[in-house]
Amino acid sequence: MSDLWRRCLERLEGELSAEDLHTWLMPLQARDDADGLQLFAPNPYTLEAVRDRYLGKIETVLALLTGHALSVRLEVGSSAAAVTNGHRPTAAAPARAVTAPEPAAPNFTHNLDPHYTFETFVEGKSNQLGKAAAMQVAQNPGRAYNPLLLYGGTGLGKTHLMHAAGNLMREHNPHCKVLYLRSEQFVGSMIEALRTKSMDEFKRRFRSVDALLIDDIQFFAGKDTTQEEFFHTFNALFESKQQIILTCDRYPKEVDKLEPRLKSRLGWGLSVAIEPPDFETRAAILLAKAHEKGVAVSENVAMLLAKRIRSNVRDLEGALNTLAARANFYGKPITTEFAEETLRDLLATHAQAVTVPNIQKIVAEYFGVRLQDLLSKRRVRSLARPRQMAMALSKELTEHSLPEIGEAFGGRDHTTVLHACRTIRKLSETDTRMRQDWEQLIRTLTG
């Protein structure tokens, strides 16, 4: 890594959250020369985010470090590729030799779900970075990002992406040994190995794979012996450039009772958040799932379900399965009326969960303001932002019209609500804190 870039990152550590640093800046490769600093982003999404959110900060820190303004060029690619493309050799990471695949162990059976592929994964704003990162890891195992950590709420596609990466690795190299496990299985295997005094065999098994995929590592919390063993497995795999892909239900730094040294290791690669999909993505996923299962579902039905079921994709898929089974049983087509009738209770449960009063209450608690102040006419900034956030969430998560939402917020005009929605959307694009608040509140409200 360029020494200048390393020092710049060290400075930025004090200014940015660990999450931002690991998600956006650590994956960049750098080379510095007489013309300034060149930063290579792994994909266009990262490039855009770095340019929009962090470039100013980077330039300021570089000016402080060097004593003069330095030009920073951003491009998609890698410093190693830049060298082979004829750029001057650099201090950045050298290209590593590609080794011939080892033949798979005769008794190795991989356990990937063949249905979870990138082709069957529907991309949207909420998951495009995760998908891009998983694809890069699959195309360049052990080299692109190690470990790759996908985190986010339940049923949002983390496991799907993990399998998709494993499946693609095996498509490129059928001998590639990809081992997928839920974290409970890792714990179970270790307990069994301890019981039968076969820890050597356990170590060999996990360290001999080309890629180790472990799902839901939050279950390691509080299990000290497991964490110890996983830590050593991690180190062994990392050192020999075997790929590690992990998922977690939240940013690992926020998982209690996970050892600090393990948390620190997890931050060595790339951590990407998978967010709940927006309406259009939910509808597209539903249509794709219906197509995959051979179930005839119209766009209207997909839109109905996508509008009403916002919690996660697993719930959407569950609703589709119920519809398909009932339609098959009664020999009826899946019309919107049939869907409304069949899923009446389920849709009512989802509608109950997110009401405007509930949003107001949760937002007030989240920002530590009183509910009556949130609904009052007072315009101080400490109340204005939470109020705008609550209005925007009401528009996003309920079926109410702008005038109805305005009415629920102390009789405000619909243009005020519209302004709130636009302000929050705009701010979320540039203000990391605001985006995190928005995402956290969506997670809380949609369960």
- Residue numbers in the known binding site for ATP are 155, 157-159
Sole binder of ligand ATP in the list 317, 373, 404, 439 (CB under 6 A): 317
Is 220 a binding residue for ligand ATP by CB under 6 A? The answer is no
Is 249 a binding residue for ligand ATP by CB under 6 A? The answer is yes
**122 or 133: whose CB is closer to ligand ATP?**
122
What DSSP string runs through 325-365?
Answer: HHHHHHT----HHHHHHHTHHHHHHHHHHS-HHHHHHHHHH
**Number of C-alpha atoms within 13 angstroms, CB side, residue 267?**
20
Residue 178: how many CB atoms within 10 A of its CB? 27
CA angle in degrees (0–180, nearest 5) for 157-158-161: 85
User: CA–CA distance from 58 to each of 34, 65, 71, 79, 295 (Å)?
Assistant: 18, 10, 10, 18, 51
CB of 318 to ligand ATP, least distance (A): 9
Strand partners, 271: 149
**278 or 431: whose CB is closer to ligand ATP?**
278
| Residue facing ligand ATP at closest CB distance | 157
Sole binder of ligand ATP in the list 25, 62, 133, 156 (CB under 6 A): 156
Is 155 a binding residue for ligand ATP by CB under 6 A? The answer is yes
- List the interface residues with ligand ATP, window 344-383 (CB under 6 A): none
**124 or 406: whose CB is closer to ligand ATP?**
124
CB of 88 to ligand ATP, least distance (A): 41
- List the interface residues with ligand ATP, window 264-293 (CB under 6 A): 285
**Using CB under 6 A as the criterion, what x/- string covers residues 173-212 for binding ligand ATP?**
----------------------------------------
| Backbone φ, ψ for residue 271 (5° rounding) | -110, 125
Residue burial 265-287, b: 16+ Cβ < 10 Å; e: rest: bbbbbbbbbbbbbbeebbbbbbb
CB of 303 to ligand ATP, least distance (A): 17
User: CA–CA distance from 181 to each of 9, 107, 213, 245 (Å)?
Assistant: 34, 17, 6, 11
**258 or 389: whose CB is closer to ligand ATP?**
258
The CA distance from 56 to 52, in Å, is: 8
Is 154 a binding residue for ligand ATP by CB under 6 A? The answer is yes
Q: What does the DSSP 8-state code read for residue 59? A: H
**121 or 251: whose CB is closer to ligand ATP?**
121
Give strand ranges (E) for 183-259.
Answer: 211-215, 243-248
Is 157 a binding residue for ligand ATP by CB under 6 A? The answer is yes
# chain residues binding ligand ATP, by CB under 6 A: 19
Please provide the size of the chain in residues: 447
**157 or 166: whose CB is closer to ligand ATP?**
157
Sole binder of ligand ATP in the list 45, 54, 118, 121 (CB under 6 A): 121
**156 or 375: whose CB is closer to ligand ATP?**
156
Sole binder of ligand ATP in the list 127, 233, 342, 428 (CB under 6 A): 127
Q: What does the DSSP 8-state code read for residue 172? A: H
CB of 439 to ligand ATP, least distance (A): 15
Q: Which stretch binds ligand ATP (CB under 6 A): 45-53, 153-161, 229-237, 397-405?
A: 153-161
**62 or 309: whose CB is closer to ligand ATP?**
309
CA angle in degrees (0–180, nearest 5) for 181-182-183: 110
* Residue pointed to by tokens 């495009």: 128
The rounded radius of gyration (Å) of the Cα atoms in the chain is: 24
Q: Which stretch binds ligand ATP (CB under 6 A): 42-50, 157-165, 185-193, 412-420?
A: 157-165
> In 3D, which of 152, 172, 140 has the Cα closest to residue 243?
140
Annotated binding site: 155, 157-159
Q: What type of residue sits at position 384?
A: A
* Residue pointed to by tokens 């596609």: 157
The CA distance from 364 to 121, in Å, is: 36
355 conformational bin, left if phi > 0, alpha if psi -120 to 50, beta if neither? beta
**315 or 437: whose CB is closer to ligand ATP?**
315
Is 386 a binding residue for ligand ATP by CB under 6 A? The answer is no
**48 or 119: whose CB is closer to ligand ATP?**
119
CB of 9 to ligand ATP, least distance (A): 30
CB of 116 to ligand ATP, least distance (A): 6
Query: Under the rule (CB under 6 A), what is the footprint of ligand ATP?
Result: 116, 120-122, 127, 154-160, 216, 247, 249, 285, 313-314, 317
